[in-house]
Structure 1
Amino acid sequence: MSSTKYILGIFDDPDDLMHGIDKLQKNSVPIYDVYSPCPIHGIDAKLGIKDSRLGYAAFMFGCLGGTIMFSMVYYMLVHDWPINIGGKNFFAIPDFVPVTFEWTVLWTAFGMTFTFFFATHLFPGRAPRVMDLRATNDKFIIAIDARGNTPNADIDSILKEAGAVEVKHNDRKYVSYE
């Protein structure tokens, strides 16, 4: 049995990469992942990737931050230490708006940063996980699980027909920068 875990099709051009995805899908070859040094329009729909739920998380962090700050300001200025300034009401909502807005934005930003790091496993100090280091510079890569039902020679020929400049058999999941 072969020790190959992944077959990598390496492309120079994003259009060739999209053509390679079409050919692989037409031949019912499951694609593990696609690596690109830049965003490619339409690749998410072609690969069947669902929209991100990070927007919902941002909304929840904003609501949490706004609620906490509004509650803190209300408690401090109305119950704990009410100060009569020019005869105004202690519970003057327009006075609470600026600081509540700023804390809403702050909590959203910090919450999204931590959520992004958690979701992508890109914690500070951790080495990035990539199949081939050239994917971070100038190459476009399709990774295919070699343990599928399609023979490896057929996958190699499909990738070469699609315009791959190199087909590489990888025996481990990720390469590190070290």
Structure 2
Amino acid sequence: MASTVIHAIYSDDDVLMNAVKEVRKKHLHINEVYTPFPVHGLDKAMGLAPTRLAITAFLYGCVGITVATLMMNFIMIEDWPQNIGGKPSFSYIENMPAFVPIMFELTVFFAAHLMVITFYMRSKLWPFKKAENPDVRTTDDHFLMEIDATGKDGKELADFLVTTGAVEINLIANEA
């Protein structure tokens, strides 16, 4: 079965935001919006669910502080205790104030690096991946809204999108 999508191209981000709201009012499904820069509030206008990346950042930070604590306890207390400047090396708790900078740095290190890896995996941005951008102008100065038009009148939908401020409308038929 063939699926049909309409690519509506806009030249201004404010016009795009209003168009997204109008398209959502007509209960049309927006597959994707391609923009040359992040548009504040577009995710809410499209009705996308909030991201859970902040939760993963917290969990990755917890992993980092756990690794830091276990690493410093093993290295500085159990494996090779040293008398550095008269500092007691009998227990981790007695030395914890000296270890706070390392705990902080490893918390940030783990959270940052694992967040980048998670973002790339969730976005499916693998090395040497071919770009999926349908129109090269969306990397420069245009905005593209891709709307599912399967089973809908393409002419009527195109006329509606022109009223929302689209500067160009393209009907794309995909063979599945």
**TM more than 0.5:** yes
* 1:16 is aligned to 2:15: yes
**Residues 66, 4 of structure 1: alpha-carbon distance in 2 compared, 3 angstrom cutoff:** same
What is the DSSP-based 3-state SS (H/G/I as helix, E as strand, rest coil) of the residue aligned with 1:122?
Answer: coil
Code of the residue aligned with 1:124 in structure 2: it is P
Counterpart for residue 71 of structure 1: 70
Counterpart for residue 176 of structure 1: none
- Residues 1-178 of structure 1 aligned to structure 2 (within 5 Å): 3=2, 5-90=4-89, 91=92, 92-147=95-150, 149-172=151-174
Question: Per-residue deviation at 1:172?
Answer: 4.5
Identity %: 36
Code of the residue aligned with 1:73 in structure 2: it is M
- In 2, the alpha carbon distance for the partners of 1:81 and 1:19 equals 64
- In 2, the alpha carbon distance for the partners of 1:161 and 1:14 equals 16
Deviation string, structure 1 residues 63-109 (Cα, Å, up to 9, x no partner)? 10111121011012111112233443213111211222111111111
- In 2, the alpha carbon distance for the partners of 1:166 and 1:80 equals 68
- In 1, the alpha carbon distance for the partners of 2:86 and 2:72 equals 19
Cα RMSD over matched residues? 1.9
- Normalising by structure 1, report the TM-score: 0.86
CA contact (8 A) 2:34 2:143 kept: yes
